[in-house]
Amino acid sequence: MQEVARRTLENGCAMCVVRADLTTLEVDAVVNAANPALRGGGGVDGAIHRAGGPTILAECQAWVARSGPLPTGQAMATRAGRLPARRVFHTVGPVYRGPQDAEALASCYCECLKLALEHGCRTVAFPGISTGVHGYPISEAAPLAVHAVQEFLMRHQAPAEVVFCTYDPESTQAYRQLLEPDRSGPD
């Protein structure tokens, strides 16, 4: 895991960006950009299910049997199976249509952070929710994610660290620009 940039807030909570495989991170919880049926699939969702093993799918199927498909912007938790994390927070991001999807995307981050509080998680790692096949431009999604997380951390003083885990140079740079200190001002 290579940390690219970090911002520590006034209350001591931190946000950082790392370029890594989300399924290898040793954090309390990783976030899965899931589909409403919670069945696994492609991208991050498929990678988490493959690496974590059948425990995750079994818990997802039981949840869907009780509650129905997971709505966009909501989140639920499972154990992490064989992943180095303790929990997986599954959330369904919006399929991008335009700026009207910002509220649903922000809700994904906030609902996962609420789960982090409920489960006593000090570290949570997020992928770029909706930035893959759902088509949300990283140039819009990254600032929205950082803002939503920062607002939550300032209100709740937890979790202690939120990781934005990226896999490509464009996403890494988008988060880096948001989390690095402003170097344009006087020294």
Q: Annotated catalytic residue: which of 21, 28, 45, 168?
A: 45
pLDDT tens, residue by residue, 89-146:
999 999 999 989 999 999 999 999 999 999 999 999 999 999 999 999 999 999 999 9
**Structure-token match 């950009």, residue found:** 33
Residue 184 pLDDT = 44
Per residue in 81-91, pLDDT tens?
999 999 999 99
Domain-wise residue ranges, the chain: 2-179
**89-98 tens-digit pLDDT:** 999 999 999 9
Question: Does 186 or 129 have the greater pLDDT score?
Answer: 129
Q: What percent of the chain has pLDDT over 70?
A: 96
CB neighbours of residue 82 within 10 Å: 12
Across 70-76, average pLDDT: 98
Q: What residues have CB less than 8 Å from 33, skipping those under 6 apart?
A: 43, 44, 45, 91, 92, 93, 127, 128, 129, 130, 132, 134
3-class DSSP state of 96 = coil
Q: How many CB atoms lie within 10 A of CB 4?
A: 17
Amino acid sitting at position 89: F
Q: What is the CATH number of domain 2-179?
A: 3.40.220.10
What's the pTM?
A: 0.94
The answer for 130, left when phi > 0, alpha when psi is -120 to 50, beta otherwise, is left
**Helix or strand run (H / E) with residue 177:** helix 169-179
Tokens 């880096």 locate to: 176
Query: What pLDDT is stored for residue 66 in this prediction?
Result: 97
- Write down the pLDDT at residue 1: 65
pLDDT band, very low/low/confident/very high, at 41 (cuts 50, 70, 90) = confident
Active site residue 45: yes
